[in-house]
Amino acid sequence: MTQQSGVALVTGGTSGIGLAVVKKLAARGLRVFLCARTAENVTSTVKELREQGLDVAGAPADVRSAESVRELVTAAVDTFGPLTVLVNNAGRGGGGVTAKITDELWYDMIDTNLNSVFLLTRAALTTGGLGDADRGRIINIASTGGKQGVPLGAPYSAAKAGVIGFTKALAKELARTGVTVNAVCPGYVETPMAVGVRRRYAETWDTTEEDVLAQFNEKIPLGRYSTPSEVAGLVDYLTTADADSITAQALNVCGGLGIY
């Protein structure tokens, strides 16, 4: 990819897919502001990336909180200037037998994985200046689980389905403004979150995490998990001029696991 100027805000940017996105965008010349819940993780990640020559900064934030989100977006603008790219990546896993899911788990899953996307997007379009960008990008990390459903993952599937619906509605709303809106839908990706997912399935199924991994790999036509870098590669492409006509899409990166 060619070098590109611009300012990107990436939530959940200290590990997994988010960190891979930060690295790719920054390597192409964007100034990237990242966040995570833990200040220590933000500080250490920013330090490491700056040592690699990347123009990166960040701040801790709770993406479930409108006030925290406003402070985050303000900090990003104060540091680098108005946003041109927003990547809503922050999220969490969780689930179980639906009849046994607690209110607390359900609401936190929706707050973290869905409501945060609305809060960040609203703040980016207003406080962040993204609504005034000549060619802006909003990219939401959803999931194939938001299209097909995940057994024992009802709250996760519900939240990610909501992200896809929000993406398509907003894309049509903003279509004439120069801001495109798309969702990237990973399948099974080897991240710290994936380790927790396998652990929970192993406990529910009374088996080993290795057995769960083997079962999941068997379901994937390519026979393996995708990598964070592969997911980030699509996010990176969607920020380029070559993707100007791509909007209102929910694009899979899943090794053939999802086919729509």
Nearest CA to 190 out of 14, 17, 22, 44 is that of: 17
- Residue whose structure tokens are 């996760």: 156
Contacts of residue 139, Cβ cutoff 8 Å, sequence gap at least 6: 85, 86, 87, 88, 181, 182, 183, 184, 235, 238, 239
Nearest CA to 20 out of 173, 170, 227, 207 is that of: 227
Catalytic residue among 156, 188, 201, 225: 156
Which neighbouring-strand residues pair with 252?
Answer: 185
* Structure tokens that stand for 69 in this block: 């989100």
CA gap 72, 104 in Å, rounded: 25
CA gap 34, 29 in Å, rounded: 15
**Kind and range of the H or E run holding 210:** helix 209-219
Please calculate the CA angle 230-13-135 and round it to the nearest 5 degrees. 75
Asked about 156 being catalytic, the answer comes back as yes
Active site residues: 156
